[in-house]
Amino acid sequence: MKLYDTHAHVNLAAFKEDREEIITQALQAGVIINNVGTQKDTSKKAVDLTKGRENVYAVIGLHPVHTISQEIDEEESHFISREEHFDYEYYKALAGDPKVVGIGECGLDYYRLPEDKTLEEVKTTQKQAFLEQIRLAKELDKALVIHCRTQNGSVDAYEDILELLKTEKPPRFEIHSFTSNWDMAQRFLELGGYIGLNGIITFDKSGVLKEVIKNCPLERIVLETDAPYLAPPPYRGKRNQPEYVQYVAQYIAEVKGLSFEEVCEKTTLNAKTLFKI
């Protein structure tokens, strides 16, 4: 049974000791992998990891947290982001590789604010990089992989992304690691988008994401891990990996009252349609 992990980061340093083994295990388990870049070096690494491998693809782009240098200190991440301005020609050349199937992860992240920047300064910088990546996705007819993280208790970044999508109209897109409510999900679906779901759904206690799963047509859902982050039970608190996408599929099957096989088959087809594979 094929599964498609549409969003993993086996290209990051968290896998430097056993990267080859993790990829091999996933492929042997029938998992197709998109390794997703966060800036120039990790995007190049994502492309490198496709070489000589079937069912391994790359998504390249600049993550919003890397548009401004800042300290990232969370449960699973502790680092200083390296500031980068989006280099359109560099990423365009890198996207010439046939295994590059998407642009991203790009988008807006208002969760963190550097001490020396206002929210408006952060918004302006992130929006500029996001718009450039939308333009590149449109020029190259690539799927757009969108990161969105709001300030606590807000939907501000989702609202801003919706407005940009309505104006810019990328050819195909997904909202990666969706964490908002069903009303918000519907607004992205109305624009033709896909909803990316990962291990968060298995430990969300609010019931909000369960409602999204129940209501969202299976034809508009794609699966992901966001490895090495957000591992689902029974690996909660440990390093996530592409093979664990099966637990996301199992949870969706349970909530929607479908077979595991049907969820695997349809979400894999969705991903192949989104990324034109």
- 268 — phi, psi (to 5°)? -65, -40
Three-state DSSP state, 160: helix
The stretches of the chain forming alpha helices (DSSP H) are 19-28, 40-48, 88-94, 119-140, 156-168, 182-190, 200-203, 208-215, 245-256, 260-274
139 annotated ligand-binding residue: no
Distance separating alpha carbons of residues 198 and 163, to the nearest angstrom: 25
66 annotated ligand-binding residue: no
226 annotated ligand-binding residue: yes
Cβ(5)–Cβ(269) under 8 Å? no
78 annotated ligand-binding residue: no
Cα–Cα separations (whole angstroms), residue 245 to 2, 12, 99, 184:
11, 18, 21, 24
9 annotated ligand-binding residue: yes
85 annotated ligand-binding residue: no
Q: In the beta sheet, which residues pair with residue 35?
A: 8, 58
Q: Rg of the Cα trace of the chain? A: 17
Picking from 139, 81, 88, 75, the residue whose alpha carbon sits closest to that of residue 109 is 81
Annotated binding site: 7, 9, 105, 147, 176, 226
Annotated binding site for a divalent metal cation: 7, 9, 105, 147, 176, 226
